[in-house]
Amino acid sequence: MITVKLLTDGTRNNRLLGFCLAVISRHSENWPPTEQVLANEFVSWLGVRPFLTRDAMRELCLSKGINLSFSSLAQELRGFNCSFQDKKEIVISEHENVPFADLHTLLHEFREMLEHVFVELGWATLSPKDSLEETAEEFATVARMETGAKEFPAYIEIVGNIETPWQRYLGYVLLVVGFVAYMFTCATLPQYEEMVAEAGRQRYVRT
């Protein structure tokens, strides 16, 4: 009974802990969950959407007890996270070299924080040979795709309410093209971001 009470109190003050415990309770028989499953759970829990301003991202993080800030960081560092007791913070570079990179980095940092909590609970999702950095990149990509997939039905419904047939048909075409383009940017953002960073490093060396 004491253990349950302490755990309950902990989840009230540490929402990330509460999320991880909920994931464990739902997927303990098939552990570890895939990044797809984890991303699906996380996107629903955080309420993240495909396109967010920095202010919206800050508010979203604060709603889960995490402070988000943007600061000048070393060129090769896109973000980092830190935790002390119940205080958690994510810092992202104030220079967004690629569109939507802020959200990708935020999700990347969240995945690292999640793994730390899972490890503390004795439910690690990665083996010692697995790379947390690579896994966090995969998670961020899948999570961004998941946000688009969750929004897509709502847009389908909006387009379906267009009365003029040819405008409705055009709306469907544009919606599908936009959805495919969004998914493509999600999948290729890490590579594109690395290309931009490499170009910046070469320019720095030349100057």
Contact 42, 163 (CB under 8 A): no
Mean pLDDT of the 95-104 span: 89
With a pLDDT cut of 90, the percent of the chain lying above it is 76
Cis (ω within 30 of 0) for the bond into 32? yes
Q: Counting beta carbons within 10 angstroms of the beta carbon of residue 2, is it exposed (0 to 12), middle (13 to 18) or buried (19 or more)?
A: exposed
pLDDT tier at 201, thresholds 50, 70, 90? low
pLDDT tier at 3, thresholds 50, 70, 90? very low
Residue 125 pLDDT more than 80? yes
Mean pLDDT of the 125-148 span: 96
pLDDT at 48 (0 to 100):
94
Judging by DSSP bridges, how do beta strands 79-84 and 66-71 pair with one another?
unpaired
Q: Full-prediction pTM beyond 0.85?
A: yes
Q: Which of 43-57, 93-107, 125-139 has the lowest mean pLDDT?
A: 93-107
Q: What is the pLDDT of residues 49-91, one digit of tens each?
A: 999 999 999 999 999 999 999 999 987 789 999 988 778 999 9
Sheet containing strand 66-71, edge to edge, reads 66-71, 87-93, 79-84
Contacts made by residues 18-27, CB under 8 angstroms, sequence distance 24+: 19/45, 19/114, 20/114, 20/117, 20/118, 20/121, 20/123, 21/121, 24/118, 24/121, 24/123
pLDDT at 13 (0 to 100):
73
Range of the domain at 188: 2-206
Q: What is the pLDDT of residues 159-200, one digit of tens each?
A: 999 999 999 999 999 999 999 999 999 999 988 877 876 766
- For residue 102, count other CB atoms closer than 10 A to its CB: 21
Number of domains within the chain: 1
Residue located via tokens 């690292």 = 112
Mean pLDDT of the 83-101 span: 88
